[in-house]
Chains A and B, each alone.
Chain A
């Protein structure tokens, strides 16, 4: 049983560019949440997708957007990248929008230069 997978593993971008990160949830899960983890910090919630819609959003600007596909996989898009967007981006999946159990993927390390 595959767990949560994310791609790519690492990514280097330049300020002002756009980036797309991808996540495939654990088998049987239908909800995907995205988190940003700065170095030495705990993960910070970006948003959650359920039934292909953004259901909840954290305190992030609208440069951060996402999408969920019919197969429950999800993308995180960040436009107009800033140096401060450099972080580990984590995807977590769960079954049901309000589920207590969230399983995390290995993350995508984004570096903005």
Chain B
């Protein structure tokens, strides 16, 4: 079926290192992709988004890359901090639909 998924369920990095979280999607009709951060006991928090007509978008310490050829999405976090520890979800949205389709999530643990 069509889905948004993640390559790695867990990721452990050292504080100060860069983190890369990956995501694969299967539907080429998706035109919008979002990364959410979810801390324990909280709802998903928007991090950064990218439209399908872009390859790269940068925010503060975060960069999202979109490779439409292989249907791959990644989130790069520079100088990872303990406060970045959370579960990260990628989600896709299709223009004709109102809902977001989420993957299972990657848990990021930052070691001090």
Residues of chain A at the chain B interface (Cβ within 8 Å)? 4, 31, 33, 35, 40-45, 48, 50, 55-56, 58, 90, 92, 97-107
* B49: chain A residues within 8 A (beta carbon): 100-101
Chain B 79-106 per-residue mask, 1 if CB under 8 angstroms from chain A, else 0: 0000000000101010101111111110
* B100: chain A residues within 8 A (beta carbon): 33, 35, 43, 45, 92, 102
Partner of A43, one of B42, B95, B102: B102
* B101: chain A residues within 8 A (beta carbon): 45
* A40: chain B residues within 8 A (beta carbon): 104-105
Q: Enumerate 25 A-B pairs (CB-CB under 8 Å) in ascending A order.
A: A4-B43, A31-B98, A33-B100, A35-B100, A42-B89, A42-B91, A42-B102, A42-B103, A42-B104, A43-B44, A43-B89, A43-B102, A44-B102, A45-B99, A48-B99, A55-B98, A56-B98, A56-B99, A92-B100, A97-B98, A98-B97, A104-B36, A104-B45, A106-B41, A106-B42
The smallest beta-carbon distance between B20 and chain A, in angstroms, is 19
A111 to B57 Cα, complex, angstroms: 39
A44 to B32 Cα, complex, angstroms: 17
Chain B 32-61 per-residue mask, 1 if CB under 8 angstroms from chain A, else 0: 101010000111111001000000000000
Partner of B99, one of A42, A58, A101, A107: A58
The smallest beta-carbon distance between B21 and chain A, in angstroms, is 13
Partner of A104, one of B41, B44, B93: B44
A99 to B95 Cα, complex, angstroms: 9
The smallest beta-carbon distance between B103 and chain A, in angstroms, is 5
Query: CB distance B46 to A101 under 8 Å?
Result: yes
Query: CB distance B102 to A56 under 8 Å?
Result: no
